[in-house]
Amino acid sequence: IQKNKEFSLLFFDLDKFKLLNDTLGHPTRIKIVKYLREMDRCICGQIVEIFPYSQSTISQHLKLLKESGIVSGEVDGPKTCYCINKELLERIKENVSEL
């Protein structure tokens, strides 16, 4: 490194990056994430009604989103409420923009 030269160093967990990349690599999961961001609140039991897919298909997509940490799910009686992890999405945006 030369004197008086600025530099930046980016650290990230490659396994986590792969999980996030794989999770966000499906158009339906992207649509779910965008929908949750636009709603700007937790959604309880309404996601299946919005998309033209079966309950099991949406459940599988939500499971993967939860495993990656992009979405959290809280059981509320017979329904599960899904919330977007805004902090993680911002970190993803920042890290990807630095590549």
pTM: 0.76
pLDDT band at 15 (very low <50, low <70, confident <90, very high): low
Higher pLDDT, 93 or 28: 28
Cβ neighbours, 10 Å, residue 24: 17
Query: What type of residue is 36?
Result: L
Tokens of 19: 């999980």
For residue range 56-90, what is the model confidence (pLDDT) as tens digits?
999 899 999 999 899 998 887 888 889 999 998 88
Question: Would the CA dihedral through 24, 57, 72, 46 be positive or negative?
Answer: positive
Tokens of 29: 């999961």
Over range 6-35, report the average pLDDT: 76
Q: How many CA atoms lie within 13 A of 89 on its CB side?
A: 15
Q: Residue 53 gets which letter from DSSP?
A: S
